[in-house]
Amino acid sequence: MKPLSIDLYKKRVVIVGGGKVAEKRMKSLLPEDPEVTVISPELTENLRQLWEEGAFEWKRKPYAEGDASRAFLLITAADQLEVNEQAEAEAKEVPLINRADNGGGNVHFPAHMKRGRLSVSVTTNGASPKLTAGIKQKFEEQFPEDYGRYVDFLFTMRNVLRDAGFSPDRRRFYLEEGLKESCRSRDQQQLLLQEIHKEKGADDCERTDR
């Protein structure tokens, strides 16, 4: 399978099942702000709390034919294998299907770490979930929570350089400066941005004088 990033904002997602697996999938989906419907007679305590907060729609009943119609993503996470198989078999028009019970369907959910604009996904394609979790933990230790601010700085600097009209060599110089260890410091980040603006201002003045 080829790793892809998919925009789920306001996309219709149907989850069949209300147990621990469904809860895990829900927690990974909510930051993307999709429109989620859960089909299950019961919910875990955590899912019920999320439902009470208005995080998703709950159809309090067993899965039935047609429940996944018009879904963009179907997640089968029921405790009963036959229910998952039925839901997948009937989802002929659903573009994306995740079988949470046996790795079927055409979409897998990798272990995912996010630090601002930085996203890292890890999967062993079902070979060893424990190994996947261990690798993810190493990434989390290597890139702490505040690493996202550094990535945001790089994004800001790239946009400033794009609009500054510098030569390719000068852009490359500043981009490489931003990757130095010293630029993990917010003070150094501000100094570098100030230097870019100062040089841009000097270039603007030179062009005006001409």
- Specify the fold of 12-109: Rossmann fold (3.40.50)
**Contact 102/94 with Cβ under 8 angstroms?**
no
Please list the residue range(s) of the chain that carry CATH number 3.40.50.720: 12-109
- Starting at the edge strand found earlier in the chain, the sheet holding 73-76 runs 57-59, 35-39, 12-16, 73-76, 96-99
Q: How far is CA 44 from CA 5, 75, 198, 210, in A?
A: 28, 16, 57, 71
Considering the segment(s) 147-209 as one domain, its CATH architecture is Orthogonal Bundle (1.10)
Global pTM? 0.77
Burial-class residue 103 by CB neighbours within 10 Å (0-12, 13-18, 19+).
Answer: exposed
Please list the residue range(s) of the chain that carry CATH number 1.10.8: 147-209
pLDDT tens per residue, the chain (210 residues)?
777 889 999 999 999 999 999 999 999 999 999 999 999 999 999 999 999 999 999 999 999 999 998 999 999 999 999 999 999 999 999 999 999 887 678 988 889 999 999 999 998 877 888 999 999 999 999 999 999 999 999 999 999 999 998 999 999 999 999 999 999 999 999 999 999 999 987 555 444 444
Question: Which residues, at least 6 apart from 119, have a Cβ–Cβ distance to it below 8 Å?
Answer: 5, 112, 113
